[in-house]
């Protein structure tokens, strides 16, 4: 009897073809990019949740969480720019910081056990303090949320974040924004004084505090 089988060369050719196809599929799917897109979607939903919480809080009390801090307390006219671990952001409370509770921008420790006004007033769930946007922002700024309030009683409130997916960092297909802590102005990408980082992989994406006031459009904002 003559047994028919693949030769070693044929097996090697098949293996090589499978490897090439696998690489092509992975390159097309790009699992890291897909994971970053999923993360961006989650953070955007969290930003929208915080945004809605501010609106409900203001509707109920005619004030914002940051207006309770400071020896000369901010008013509804005051422009504001706060990171998600700041007292005035509304996730954590002054009792857990050990820093100057009179400062609206004083940072909370990540082991905070005292909920901020958005949580204590039931506008956000307590579980929100366990999210990366609060827990890791002290060591990884790019994980944080950023509250922006324009000056004036009618000044809009925005909640911004730094996208991680390269497709969400492309200024040609996304509306990216600069945040300026000097004049506290919000400038659209492409306008004077607001530029994109050199590449979507630039290290500037990981340093949003450096980008603030530096004219770099690395933020996506809601609404």
Instruction: Report yes or no on 7 lying in a domain.
Output: no
Show the low-confidence residues of the chain (pLDDT under 70). 1-6, 24-29, 94-102, 110-113, 181-184, 188-190, 192
Instruction: Report yes or no on 3 lying in a domain.
Output: no
Q: Output the pLDDT for position 197.
A: 83
Instruction: Report yes or no on 20 lying in a domain.
Output: no
174, 141 contact by CB (below 8 A):
no
Instruction: Report yes or no on 11 lying in a domain.
Output: no
Q: Output the pLDDT for position 102.
A: 61
Instruction: Report yes or no on 124 lying in a domain.
Output: yes
Instruction: Report yes or no on 183 lying in a domain.
Output: yes
Q: What is the number of domains present in the chain?
A: 1
Convert the pLDDT of each residue in 107-116 to its tens digit: 777 666 678 8
Q: Output the pLDDT for position 41.
A: 95
Q: Output the pLDDT for position 189.
A: 65
| Continuous H helices in the chain | 8-29, 31-61, 117-120, 132-135, 208-211
> How many angstroms separate the Cα of 218 from the Cα of each of 7, 59, 106, 200?
56, 31, 24, 9
Instruction: Report yes or no on 22 lying in a domain.
Output: no
Q: Output the pLDDT for position 26.
A: 62
Instruction: Report yes or no on 198 lying in a domain.
Output: yes
- pTM confidence score: 0.82
Range of the domain at 40: 32-222
Among residues 120, 131, 135, 85, the alpha carbon closest in space to that of 105 is found at: 85
């Amino acid at each position: 009897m003559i047994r028919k089988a693949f030769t070693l060369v044929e097996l090697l050719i098949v293996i090589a073809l499978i490897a090439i196809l696998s690489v092509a599929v992975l390159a097309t799917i790009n699992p890291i990019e897909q994971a970053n897109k999923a993360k961006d979607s989650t953070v955007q939903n969290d930003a929208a949740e915080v945004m809605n919480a501010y609106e409900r809080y203001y509707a109920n009390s005619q004030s914002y969480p940051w207006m309770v801090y400071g020896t000369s307390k901010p008013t509804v006219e005051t422009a504001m720019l706060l990171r998600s671990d700041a007292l005035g952001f509304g996730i954590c409370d002054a009792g857990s910081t050990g820093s100057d509770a009179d400062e609206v921008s004083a940072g909370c420790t990540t082991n905070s056990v005292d909920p901020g006004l958005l949580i204590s007033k039931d506008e956000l769930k307590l579980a929100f303090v366990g999210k990366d946007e609060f827990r890791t922002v002290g060591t990884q700024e790019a994980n944080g949320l950023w509250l922006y309030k324009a000056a004036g009683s009618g000044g809009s409130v925005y909640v911004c974040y730094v996208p991680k997916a390269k497709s969400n960092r492309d200024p040609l297909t996304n509306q990216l924004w600069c945040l300026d802590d000097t004049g506290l102005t919000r400038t659209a990408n492409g306008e004077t004084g607001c530029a994109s980082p050199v590449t979507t992989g630039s290290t500037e994406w990981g340093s949003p505090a450096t980008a603030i006031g530096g004219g770099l459009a690395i933020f996506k904002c809601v609404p």
